[in-house]
Structure 1
Amino acid sequence: MGQPANLKKQARERMERTGENYTTARKNILTGKPESPKAARAAQARDYAKEARDAKAGIKPKAPKPAAAPAPQDELPEYPAPEDVIQYDAALWHRVLVQAGVTNPVTEAPLSQALLAGLAGGIGFMVFTFEYEETTTATLVTRAHPEPYTQNLLARCGAKVTERTTGSAARAVEYMDAALDAGRTVAVRVAINALPWIDGNEVDEAETIDLVVVGDHEDDLLVDDGSGVLNVISQEDLAFARAKRKKEKHWLAWVPSSRSPKAETLATNALVAIEETTSRLLGTRELSGIPDHFAKNFGITGMRTFAARLRDTTTKTGWSQMFADQERLAGGMTQLSGFLSDTRFGGEGALRGLYADFLDEAAGLPGLSALGEHSADYLQLAQLWDEFAELVDPEVTVENRSAMFAQMADAMERIAEVEEQAATALAATAKSLASQAS
């Protein structure tokens, strides 16, 4: 085969455009292979490799550019770096929707993390303790639960969202490539303990998380895991982590259209979400998939159950007895403190401040101005929850545990009282607004 005199120059120019290595670029020129959209994405993403390698240094990534292949809608905005993450999943989908160009029809600004969190179900309460041979766990969830948080968010945000599940790893890659080729980022669901940058021994094998694939780097992928940097993961490692999720195997979702939702749709969905949130807290809604004997651990009833067990110093279900061993006490309080500061199942102010922001933003939707009157209640609750979190001391001694638990019980009883008042008032307003709209 004849070779052009400037083959080396052409190969290097192609390397710059596509991110291919020299050998591949040279071979593809000689065989006349066109430059693929996937190769073009690799070129756009390669600048972020160093940032991903320097993740531990806390270096924030630059926003990657949209794919080189023409998108079916208008030019897409760049993918935003994770900032001010209060609730992980709502913040993740905020970034996906920003990249897709979807906006709030009232403000013409992006659908905010607060609005998405509220539509997903907002806030809730669940507490569980389990005693094992060597440890006692303390799980506290202040996010909406047990309803499917992300699925509710996607169904209610009003954007067009394409979801796929498949038992075929090859088909899963095809779906992802098609979305990336169209200039869209792709959310995937993975087993956390299978991610290369996670210590699998520290994470339950059943625990999952959603990541966003934002582009290619050479033969690997760049993913957003909410850490503030883009991590590099191989195609094989991502496929393995996705396959370990037996339910919804190889699930992925993307936003194929920049079409914004209608304001009336968002208003209707906000009222649906508020009814779900308040009825779950007040105990007037049946909890899907939860046995009746566990219901006492959910909502405001769960808060009062929790306070009673904190105050109980004599029975085996009281926390003083459950955490009578120093090692169990330290482990349980560390875990409890983690749930209160975590951004997936809890967070700052138990996410009540974020819910106040949701009510303020939802008040701007057609016919929902009255919702803004309730945001102050949830700002007060955010402060009460932060004060509760400050009482939890992972270094408390066994001798002082009952005194600490008594203080926590007092705080939790106050929280339950204010939560009930706030949810009752909000539920009445939402019901009235829904009647007026029908």
Structure 2
Amino acid sequence: MTDKKQLKARIRARMAKTGESYTTARRHTLGTQGTPDDHGWEFKGGLHPSTAVVSRLTGVPEPLVLLAGGGIGAGYILWEFKRHDSAALVMAFLNQWQYYDRWMTKTLGRLGVPYTNHTTGGAKGAARRMAEELDAGRPCVVLPDRYHIGYWRLPKELDGYGGHPVIAYRRAGGYVHVDDRGSGPILVPEDRMEAARGRVGSYKNSLYVLGEPPAQIDVAGAVVEGLRDCVEHLSSASDSFSLPAWRKWSRLLTDERNAKGWPKVFGDGTRVAGALLSIWEGVEPVGIDGGNLRDLFADGLDAAAGLLRREELGESATEFRRIHGMWHEMAETAVPYEEFGRIRELTAAVREAVLSDGAAREEDAEELWRLRAEADRTARKVDFSAIAERVSAIYSAESTAIARLREIV
């Protein structure tokens, strides 16, 4: 095995075992190294897709972008797909996670960064506009469907399920060069990018181009406004888009009467593996969306403590790091390595390959989705009460932490 392959294997193994993001696992394995680049474009990684693109294009550290955008969020939806006889759990951890454009608008507005947002229902017009911007040297934030973009090598049944923002920064030789938080370019054929951007009608081929940031961004003001937004949002009564979503979920995990209760939905023991794996992928940074974000939020609070000269924010940071650990333990309870080790390893391998090589290895992706399908068809008995107890404890801890944060800001 070559040195490069050995390194990749070590990074993947760490990601599978710890649930860490590629960037974190790579840093722990390699230590600090220089920033890689492609024709002058520097790759700086990142955790969450939305916060990472804004950070990369404005120079504001990602933890502070998270705070400026309204901080963390909460969301729980259990989807049942009769067509594929499967169930998937959507867990969301970013403020206003269900409204990408609203999040972008308020985040860039608070940071004082000018931008243009182009939307159109026409694929050709959208492709032409992006080509013009890239040819003029202006990077674009676009929102492609993950299945059609290709490099994740997702199965056909996930066609049209949506995607996340990435930066298109160059086009050459019929390819668009994409930055998706990795250490090198992802090359996407222009026709594939066009199809991916147009696949989800509600996205309207969204394209953001950021202008020159102010010479001195008022990060402190943006952080204060964002933190107030955060506590207001998470103090609401919504049990779909605010902290009560965790309480609702903890109850549904053991509710034998409710049609949406997990004992009812997964009464025959099948299809539950997919839902459990959705928990692990959603909570842990090894997942596509960057995990539960409580660690990134804590980093932001630590930075804000110095920026705003408020030591109490550092105390809140400590609490949210503890809560991040609670999320990790809950994910481990739902998807123990002893039972799902190979699937976890393959999930890490796919993520690592995308971020280091520009695309998942076909054999890894095929094995991953084959094993997931087999696991979903296998009847298994799950102690939902153990997961419910941890989710309930998280709800209590986050409610208390947000109440304390409200007093500070």
Is the aligned partner of 1:229 residue 2:184?
Answer: yes
Q: Which residue of 2 aligns with 1:270?
A: 223
Structure with larger RCO (C-alpha < 8 A, sep 6+): 2
The TM-score, its normalising length taken from structure 1, stands at 0.67
Using the alignment, how far apart are the partners of 1:182 and 1:365 within structure 2? 36
C-alpha distance in structure 1 between counterparts of 2:80 and 2:260, whole Å? 10
Which of 214, 217, 236 does residue 283 from structure 1 map onto? 236
CA distance in 1, matches of 2:142, 2:257: 47
1:299 corresponds, among 242, 248, 261, to: 242
Aligned residue for 1:416?
Answer: 395
Between the aligned partners of 1:387 and 1:307, the Cα distance in structure 2 is 15
1:142–1:324 distance in 2 versus 1, CA, 3 Å: same
Q: Is the 8 A contact 1:141 1:346 kept in 2?
A: no
CA distance in 1, matches of 2:288, 2:98: 11
Question: What aligned pairs does 1:271-420 form with structure 2 within 5 A after superposition?
Answer: 271-283=224-236, 295-313=238-256, 315-341=258-284, 347-348=290-291, 350-366=292-308, 370-393=312-335, 395=339, 400-401=381-382, 404-420=383-399
- Shift in CA distance, 181/169, structure 1 to aligned 2, threshold 3 Å: same
Matched with 1:105 is: none
Amino acid at match of 1:308: R
Q: Which letter does structure 2 place at the counterpart of 1:321?
A: K
The answer (yes or no) to whether the contact 2:294–2:320 under 8 Å persists in 1 is: yes
Match of 1:256 among 202, 211, 232: 211
- Residues of 2 paired with 1:243 and 1:137: CA distance? 24
- In the other structure, the counterpart of 2:109 is 155
Note the C-alpha offset of 1:165: 2.4
Q: Is the 8 A contact 1:194 1:200 kept in 2?
A: no
Tell me the CA shift for residue 167 of structure 1.
4.5
Partner of 1:136: 87
- Residues 50-106 of structure 1, C-alpha deviation per residue, up to 9 Å, x if partnerless? xxxxxxxx99994123xxxxxxxxxxxx422253x3212212332233xxxxxxxxx
Percent identity, please: 22
Distance 2:273 2:318 in 1: 35
The size of the alignment, in residue pairs, is 334
SS of the residue aligned with 1:253?
strand
Scaled by the length of structure 2, the TM-score of the pair is 0.71
- 8 Å CA contact 1:158–1:260 kept in 2: the answer is no
Partners of 2:268 and 2:44 lie apart in 1 by 40
Q: Deviations over 1:161-210 (max 9, x none)?
A: 23222455555455434433443322222222322434461424141322
Matched, 1:121 2:70: yes
For the Cα contact (< 8 Å) 2:138–2:209, is it kept in 1? yes
Task: State the Cα distance separating 1:282 from its structure 2 match.
Answer: 2.0
Q: CA deviation at 1:218?
A: 2.2
Let me know the Cα RMSD of the aligned residues: 3.2
Please tell me whether the aligned partners of residues 87 and 343 of structure 1 are also in contact (alpha carbons under 8 angstroms): no
For 1:392 and 1:138, locate their aligned partners in 2 and report how far apart those are by CA, in whole Å: 12
Rg comparison, structure with higher value:
1
Equivalent residues of 2:143, 2:206 under 8 A apart:
yes
Question: Structure 2 counterpart of 1:386, which letter?
Answer: H
